[in-house]
Chain A
Amino acid sequence: MSTVPGSVAPLNGFAKAGFLTEFLRDTFALADIELRKLRRDPLELLTRAIQPALWLLVFGQVFGRLKAIPTGEMNYVTFMVPGILAQSVLFIAIFYGISVIWERDLGILQKLLVSPAPRTALVLGKALSAGVRGLSQAIVIYLLASLLRVRLRFGIEILGVLTFVVLGSAIFSTFSLAVACLVKTRERFMGIGQVLTMPFFFASNAIYPLAIMPGWLRTFAKLNPLSYQVDALRALMVQGGQTMFGLSFDFCILVLVLVGLVLVTAKLYPNVIR
């Protein structure tokens, strides 16, 4: 063998760190890379501000006048602000899975799958970067709501809002990745993405309280993670907002859902290249 001195095998015998350290390192590596891409193309996120603006400025104003929806002391626009934040985060996250189909077509996914990184880290890394995308929506909604003179909370609660935005965003983007792993083609994915957003949005407490729903729909709404996200956001974001389930309950439910989804999606991940 003609090796240069100092470069004899085994060259890659690096000390193994513990699983958790490696898991966190790989998750961070994936999220970091996604954010670097995002930083080069921030305009994409601004275009996402249009839809929530329409909901708040058109739908909210009209329904606020009707006074058809019992929102207690709160006026209707104030009631729906946290719901619209959750909704616009959901709409971005639910199409995030298509990125895995792109990466499959580019051959990047195959390379990631043969690397020693745990699959759960591949999934969670993507989910967290989607979470950061969601944060941009928080900025948009805070601006819009201020323009509408909604009385927002600006204290320490903002940190809570950011936490729940990242959590919700991570949940729905992971769900989206799982769907992408099952349908495998862009065309089918776009069709299904459209179908999925509506039930998540309407079977939740985003734009009306659970109390006015018929029983069967309320059951669905209580199985819908979006309801818990909105519940927490409503308490944290607007003055006079209250939680139905309690913040720590909301938090635990969302974390459990995220963990479950990451585990399932990590199992499904190799599916997309078959």
Chain B
Amino acid sequence: MLSADGGLTGYENLLLFARLYGIPRAKRRDRIIDALQFMGLGEAERTLVRNYSGGMIRRLEIAQSMLHRPSVLFLDEPTVGLDPVARHAVWQHLHELRTQFGTTILMTTHDMEEADELCEVIAIMHRGRAVAVGSPGSLKKQVGADADLDDVFIHYAGGAVDEGGGYVDSAWIRRTIKRLR
């Protein structure tokens, strides 16, 4: 789900949350500029968000979530609906976020490539239970010699089509994808 305000600039979107999270006035501007540059949005600071691309909005959201330097960050499908270039850009920034600030990231995804790329520990959910937990490497080894994570997922959650989600969730994802286009 996207959640930046299209009627505001990138800077203003972050300014609101910098204020609400109590970042002192003296530090506010530097923090915001830092976050924007860190996410590669330095030049789009004064552009209205309604003119951003989908990948830029995602990066803006991540910039906003790290303004107050939380020690844990929860991400829900951080790259759903993005093209490969934007997806890799988001991944790269998430890596940097971890190495630079030591942020712990807990994320959900349906994209096994993404899980493989970003995660140290993966839990595969099936019908509301974590049916397998482990590092990507160990999970793959358990399933077979040359298995990838897709095989792992199918092995543990396979057979039946996932009945999770439901109407509201699907509607959210559709709407998100529509806005990204």
Contacts and interface: CB of A to CB of B under 8 A. Distances in A.
A217 to B, nearest CB: 42
A66 interface: no
Given A2-B99, A12-B70, A33 B8 contact: yes
B101 A115 contact: no
B100 A111 contact: no
Contact of A33 (B3, B16, B100): B16
Interface in B1-41: 1-5, 7-8, 12, 15-17, 19-24
Interface string A3-17: 110011111101111
B69 interface: yes
Contact of A26 (B1, B20, B23, B24): B20
Interface in A12-68: 12, 14-17, 22, 25-26, 29-30, 33, 36-37, 40-41
Interface string B98-135: 01111000000000000000000000000000000000
Nearest to B22: A14
A26 B19 CA distance: 7
Interface residues of B, number: 28
Contacts of A37: 5, 7-8
A9 B102 contact: yes
A257 interface: no
B68 interface: yes
A44 to B, nearest CB: 11
Contacts of B3: 106-108, 110-111
Given A12-B69, A40-B7, A115 B102 contact: no
B15 to A, nearest CB: 8
Interface of B: 1-5, 7-8, 12, 15-17, 19-24, 48, 64, 68-71, 99-102, 175
Closest 3 A/B residue pairs (Cβ): A107-B3, A11-B69, A29-B19
Interface of A: 1-4, 7-12, 14-17, 22, 25-26, 29-30, 33, 36-37, 40-41, 105-108, 110-112, 115-117
